[in-house]
Amino acid sequence: MIRRRVTVLGSTGSVGCSTLDLMDQAEAAGTGAFEVEALTGGGNVGRLAEQARRWRPRVAVIADPDKLADLRDAISGTGVQAAAGDAAVVEAATRPADLVMASIVGAAGLRSTWAAAGTGATLALANKESLVCCGPQLIERVRQAGGRLIPVDSEHSAIFQVFPADAPAQVSRLVLTASGGPFRSLSLEQMRRVTPEQAVSHPNWSMGAKISVDSATMANKGLETIEAAYLFDMPVERIEVVVHPESIIHSLVDYIDGSTLAQMGPPDMKTPIACALAWPDRLGWPAQRLDLAALGRLTFEPPDDERFPALALARQALGQGGWAPAVFNAANEVAAYAFLDRRLGFLNIAAVVAETLERAAALGIGSDHGDACEAALDVDRQSRGLAEAVVADMALAA
């Protein structure tokens, strides 16, 4: 039986809820026993309180300090300590645990992920921004603390499961698969009229709004390309993306002898979460089984760079190096939320990213902060300011 003491950063979000649900299912199946050290949420007091009552962590933290009183009232009598604010989230990340699930979305999760990386715990990483903004430094921090980093993105989890960590020279190429999102068959003219409601309706995966927009623009594959380069020490020239609408093959690893290994399964985030929770063992839970005969066929096609330029922009940023990947991430997040707020058209999301990358390069954006995490956050702040100015310029020009 798998036994773990777990902290979940971002427990009220999509990945956090799936993590706790999976732990429930594993306990019901008698294959796992979990103790929860800390739970943190953004602003959803009701959900966080419900989770705290079920799991009885030592501390429950709400990031919004104005909601501390509400949280205290909601968990009164449980014995669970209530706390609030960014500093409390970081403190929760450093509490003793076997595994920390880092699933806070966006740059908001960077400080807590960085803190968890220094504890020696297994870091189950679902926060893309931590890797994109300071990946090499984060990986080294985990190594020096004696911990282990396990990616939770389905694509990186797939590579992790079939990648020969003790013999990386045997690998010739990584292939990330992409569903293509909901708009892969639309014309450019149709894409100009895309609404936020359409963009968040993913055909295969259940995800949050911003991540769904990233899938629709394929910016997610750009971010994942950057992450894969850092996680597996692979140059961008040896990382490819292929569109696979069925989302059954989650990624592939090509070997120098011509062999290709793929990890497959139904599109369910609980599978890579289960991998992270139990590695190097396997966690039994009532998972959906793959029925290849029922599927009938699996299809593949190259990504269309004209309609989905975000992928090429991410590869450009990775090739440029330095702080360019962090600029890409910040600009994409600003643009995605501007689209969700109806301040920006769908096709202009990538345009904002491209213009922000150009302005950042011209200005020489950077940071001389000695701490890698704070330096990344400094660059993130500067890049967001640039991106907001670009969004405003495009709104005025529309």
- DSSP of 380-397, one letter per residue? HHHHHHHHHHHHHHHHHH
Non-local (6+) Cβ contacts of 335 within 8 A are: 344, 348, 349, 350, 352, 353, 387, 391
Spatial distance between the Cα atoms of 374 and 92, rounded to a whole number of angstroms: 19
Q: Whole-model pTM?
A: 0.93
pLDDT at 377: 94
pLDDT at 210: 83
pLDDT at 79: 97
Write out residues in the chain with pLDDT < 50, as ranges: none
320-331 confidence digits (pLDDT tens): 999 999 999 999
pLDDT at 182: 85
CATH 3.90.1720.10 fits 2-151, yes or no: no
Task: Classify residue 291 as exposed, middle or buried by CB count within 10 Å of its CB (0-12, 13-18, 19+).
Answer: exposed
Task: Report the relative pairing of strands 32-41 and 249-255 from DSSP bridges.
Answer: unpaired
User: E strand or H helix at 8, and its extent?
Assistant: strand 2-9
pLDDT at 108: 85
Spatial distance between the Cα atoms of 356 and 376, rounded to a whole number of angstroms: 16
Cβ contact 174:266 at 8 Å: no
CATH 1.10.1740.10 fits 322-398, yes or no: yes
Name the residue ranges covered by the structural domains of the chain: 2-151, 154-266+289-320, 322-398
Structure tokens of 51? 């989770």
The dihedral built from the CA positions of residue 237, 238, 243 and 247, taken in this order, carries a sign that is negative
73-88 confidence digits (pLDDT tens): 999 999 999 999 999 9
Spatial distance between the Cα atoms of 315 and 318, rounded to a whole number of angstroms: 5
The dihedral built from the CA positions of residue 225, 252, 208 and 43, taken in this order, carries a sign that is negative
- Same CATH fold, 322-398 and 2-151? no
pLDDT at 143: 97
pLDDT at 17: 97
